[in-house]
Structure 1
Amino acid sequence: MRAPALLTAAAALMGTAAARAADIAVSSFAGPTPVITIRGAIEPGDELKFTRFAAVLPSAVVELDSTGGHLAPALTIGDLLARHNFSTYVGPHAVCSSACGLIWLAGHPRVKQATARIGFHAAYVPDAGGVDRENGLSNALIGSYMTRLDLGTEAVIFATAAGPGAMAWITPEDGARSGIPFEVVQEDLAGLKTAGPSRAEVVDEAVGSLKAAMSAARRAETGAGQKDGIARVPHRTE
């Protein structure tokens, strides 16, 4: 594989020029599922940041908000996301296009908010004169990647049909025709992220409740011992 060809193609799958690497972080829903957010241009090295989070999370929702970036790290993130069986989500009025759209494809399930936009186009590189040209190697890698995601020929055609400077924004009808199933939701799932206590707070609360219950049990035993004249030995809790 000629990896340098992918890394030097700074605009191979970008909607805008990359100023800095994506912001990748973890937050949590009110429930038990954590959320990995990916915002901004996808740059080399972002796949390593994502790997560190994915390695310690048994499940996750990957929330995307990016106009694209480099192809190689995006495909690596997508492959890892698929292996972990994470879901993908694009929130209200957010855009996930180009390389970001390829990451979104790896979700199980794929979800978008009704006002979100998810777009695809063929991979391209600038020629010596600075004119964007479709790149056969990169598009072949996209096809191979989508095959690993169990997406068929029609899906690959849809994702690579739009040329440089164009964008195919997926609709439910497009998804049905091309074999890219996804869910559309009306509510803002991202709003759940700060709606409830964190996992640490839930654990602390549970431990506190347990300690309180044990203290109450000890008091009850002590009281019963005093009433019936029996000396009771307290239980060890170590």
Structure 2
Amino acid sequence: MFGRSFIAVAVVGTIITFSPVSAMGADIELRRTPAGSILYVNGRFEAGDDKRLIRALLETEDAVVSLNSAGGSLMVGLSMGRALRLQGVTTVVEAGQTCASACGLAWLGGSRRLLDPSAQVGFHAAYFIDDNGLAIETGSGNALVGAYLNQLGMSSEAVYYITRSSPAEMQWLAIDDAEKFGIQLKILAAPTAVDQQPSRAAAKENCQVADVRPPDAFLALRSEPSERKGRQLRRLLPGQSFEMLGEQSHEWHRVRLPDGVVGWVSWKVRRWIAC
């Protein structure tokens, strides 16, 4: 029912915003089109975002939910996923977008899951931040994730796959792995002529260096998406702003500084960057 052209044509529809643009929490935006409705969820998951999404779902019939987020609150992500499954909603991660951590768990809640070939979905173990600012894996959090995944009908092998990476790492979903562990999804077809219209996936996002700590209290801007290849162009200190250009290679994102310098920064740890 929801093909590639359905996702692309959304840009011509009416926009209804369920939350103001804010530095805190996710932005939830409804776009109505002749082909149907799409709810866009963009940004970090914070307390209350699940309630706003549920309200939007109740006010919208047969909406596809498009997710683009590095994660956030685990409990919010699980709550979103349960609501999506209860409502029988289709979830999608569109071209060039990333849905990781709590977002990846919410995406799994879709009764039908769509994924663009250039998009990424990532998972890792549940964690909390200790008094020293370190991410510590939590067994109780993983138990909650496991119970949620069991409710979705996931096998024990799939549960292990989704939770096996440490908080500092990311298990990016591979198509072969999805088939191997029974994680059902549909890969969107290659773009057709109608899909060449500018879409929300191409929109730029302004971000800044956030919580980086010693011994390297900076974010390296590199010429290549690698710590070993290329060279370091700049050392970006907390507060340094930049523009996300949409191009991504695993945890590396291509960005442009205010003075026009373009390079790659790593978003391996979520607290490093705020958008």
Superposition TM-score, scaled by structure 1 size:
0.69
- Unaligned residue ranges in structure 2 (runs of 5+): 1-21, 200-275
2:82 is paired with a residue of what secondary structure?
Answer: helix
- Give the structure 1 partner of residue 90 of structure 2: 87
The structure with the greater share of residues assigned to strand is 2
2:122 is paired with a residue of what secondary structure?
Answer: strand
1:181 is paired with a residue of what secondary structure?
Answer: coil
Query: Alpha-carbon deviations, 1:210-229, whole Å to 9, x = none?
Result: xxxxxxxxxxxxxxxxxxxx
Contact 1:30 1:194 (C-alpha < 8 Å) held by counterparts: no
Q: Could you tell me which amino acid in structure 1 is paired with residue 53 of structure 2? A: F
Between structure 1 and structure 2, the one with the greater Rg is 1
The question of 1:28 aligning with 2:32 is answered yes
1:28 deviation in Å?
Answer: 2.5
Superposition TM-score, scaled by structure 2 size:
0.60
Distance 1:126 1:139 in 2: 15
Distance 2:62 2:80 in 1: 15
Distance 2:142 2:191 in 1: 33
Contact 1:155 1:178 (C-alpha < 8 Å) held by counterparts: yes
Alpha carbon RMSD of aligned pairs, Å?
2.3
- Give the structure 2 partner of residue 175 of structure 1: 178
- Unaligned residue ranges in structure 1 (runs of 5+): 1-17, 196-238
Q: Could you tell me which amino acid in structure 2 is paired with residue 42 of structure 1? A: F
- Give the structure 2 partner of residue 140 of structure 1: 143
Contact 1:41 1:68 (C-alpha < 8 Å) held by counterparts: yes
1:120 deviation in Å?
Answer: 0.3
The question of 1:40 aligning with 2:43 is answered yes
Contact 1:69 1:98 (C-alpha < 8 Å) held by counterparts: yes
The structure with the greater share of residues assigned to helix is 1
- Give the structure 1 partner of residue 76 of structure 2: 73
1:30 deviation in Å?
Answer: 3.5
Q: How do 1:1-238 and structure 2 match up within 5 A?
A: 19-31=23-35, 33-187=36-190
Distance 1:193 1:34 in 2: 18
Q: Which has the higher contact order (CA 8 A, sep 6+)?
A: 1
Distance 2:97 2:71 in 1: 13
1:193 deviation in Å?
Answer: 10
1:183 deviation in Å?
Answer: 1.0
1:26 is paired with a residue of what secondary structure?
Answer: strand
2:169 is paired with a residue of what secondary structure?
Answer: coil
- Inter-CA distance 188–25: structure 2 relative to 1 (3 Å threshold): farther
Contact 1:126 1:133 (C-alpha < 8 Å) held by counterparts: yes
Q: Could you tell me which amino acid in structure 1 is paired with residue 143 of structure 2? A: A
Greater than 6 Å deviation, 4+ residue runs: 192-195
**More moved, 148-157 vs 178-187:** 178-187
1:175 is paired with a residue of what secondary structure?
Answer: helix
Distance 1:153 1:19 in 2: 37
